Structure 1
Amino acid sequence: MQIFFDRAASFVAALLTCVVCGVPVWGTIAAARYGIMPPWAYIPAGLLALIGLVLTLAFVRKGLAGIAPTRQRRRRTG
């Protein structure tokens, strides 16, 4: 049962990472398109999107393996 909760926690962490990184990226890109921000704002937005993608994939990988987001390995059961 603990592995189920570890797996769920990793998937929730992946979802939160998408939201925390995706919303500022979307806002920055929208602002740059409408001329509110300078065109060079795409560079930090792209870097934040890349970091968010890497973290999201790491949490999804942990979720598929049944590893909690704050652990390196699976918990020992039994």
Structure 2
Amino acid sequence: MERPSIKNEEQYDALREKGYSQEKAARIANTPNAGKKGGKASDYEDRTKKELYDQAKNVGIEGRSKMNKRELIHALRNN
């Protein structure tokens, strides 16, 4: 099977070395802000449910449409 295109190869390789699956490492390395630092993201608790839902959609969390805000936060932190 061919590996999908990776936007941030360095981040992908580092995640794989940490034991992340190919799928999860690719998903993280292909996010729009992959590899960028700055710590400007707001705390999950300060975000709206729609913002959390959109983030969950971006990272491919399944079952997100049935989750409440607390469940979305848990899923995002443990994905």
**TM-score bracket for this pair, using the shorter chain length:** under 0.3
TM-score, structure 2 length as denominator? 0.27
Q: Which has the higher helix share?
A: 1
TM-score, structure 1 length as denominator? 0.27
Larger relative CO (CA 8 A, sep 6+): 1 or 2? 1
Larger gyration radius, structure 1 or structure 2: 1
